[in-house]
Amino acid sequence: MARTLALIFAATVACCASPQIAAASCSGSACPSYSLSGDKFTNKDKDLKIRITGCVLKDGRCSGSDFDITIDPNASKAVPGASGSSVKIDVKTAAFVGALTRPHVATLPSTNSVMTTINNQTDVTVTVKYQDVEHSEFSKEVKERSSSSVAIRMDPNASASQIKWTAYAGSKMCDSGAATGSSSSGTIDVTKCKKSCELSMDKANCELKRDMTDTEQTRKHRDQARADLAKARDAFNACVTKAKATPTSSPTSNVCASERDKVNDLIGKITADDQRLGETEPGAPLRREEVLNLPPIPAKPNDTKKIDLRGCEPTGSPDAPKDLQGNTGGVMDGHSAGCKFPTNVGGGRK
């Protein structure tokens, strides 16, 4: 109880020592990442811009001077409609937005936009920061247990593994790594971020409950990946069978690449979940599919037996009369002049 009163007293002193009131109702991932001094906000994050919305207070209420400002990394900006050190501010939202930490350079002559899926497998909203081929840094907020896709520029001759990323829960970095995938698609799996139990009255029980929920969600994620893997492998095998049966005059390289990448991507997800759970796959280890190249496949020879038909083409007299059916020329009506045989084949009359 004494500790609680001490905290309240300290908070009261901190509040009243400064004439400003800021972040009383702030929501968003960047609330811990700014400070207010006088009538200026300062962005304390060294990588990303932040967007702050709120209003200037007068007599404890918004005075109609609403603001919506974006502040560069490690920079300050004055609050519109406010001046002086006694100004009072109510911050509504503060969120990270994409930002460049280095001067932007012209687009490289050969770049490739890789569609990268960010999978947040944790129970807390995270902000993922990543860097593209031009060394420009961006961020993406992903809700708990959800996914989001972003297009990241990269060298088309390199793999998605060149994409480095870090994940933040609030202002605390909780995970990092490199994207997995190919030069056409990538995946970022955030797995290590956890909901904080620091402010919980029962920290031990909070952590136990959090870990149990995390284990349950990981098992569900792995079960779904296993089901998807069975379908993906069937699709890959069907594609390979079709490719092997299709004649081609030149070698075929990297057969069924997209189908193979999907199989290997799912294997990577299952393996990651196994490692988190401290388990192994039942039976033999999962088999990754290697790059498949096929030699030329000649067309089957046409072994259909050719039959030459020979016979008589009747010819008629130019002035032969029509028969009862109105036919002339070669009809067997008693006026036929005879038969005409081809001269370019052996045998037969001419």
Q: Are 227 and 269 in contact (CB under 8 A)?
A: no
196 vs 174: CA distance, rounded Å: 11
Higher pLDDT, 207 or 313: 207
Q: How confident is the model at residue 322 (pLDDT cuts 50, 70, 90)?
A: low
24 vs 127: CA distance, rounded Å: 22
> 0.85 cut: is pTM over it?
no
pLDDT of 130 higher than 60: yes
Per DSSP, the chain holds a count of helices (H) and strands (E) of 3, 16
At 350 the pLDDT is 44
| CB atoms inside a 10 Å sphere around CB 64 | 9
Q: Are 33 and 44 in contact (CB under 8 A)?
A: yes
At 166 the pLDDT is 92
At 64 the pLDDT is 67
Q: How confident is the model at residue 238 (pLDDT cuts 50, 70, 90)?
A: very high
Sign of the Cα torsion 33, 35, 41, 47 reads negative
| Closest by CA position to 147, among listed 191, 113, 117, 182 | 117
User: Can you tell me the mean pLDDT for 64-75?
Assistant: 84
The residues, ordered by sequence, that sit 6+ positions from 254 with a Cβ below 8 Å of its Cβ are 291, 292, 293
Q: What is the mean pLDDT of the chain?
A: 75
Q: How confident is the model at residue 17 (pLDDT cuts 50, 70, 90)?
A: very low
Q: Are 327 and 319 in contact (CB under 8 A)?
A: no
The residues, ordered by sequence, that sit 6+ positions from 350 with a Cβ below 8 Å of its Cβ are 341, 343
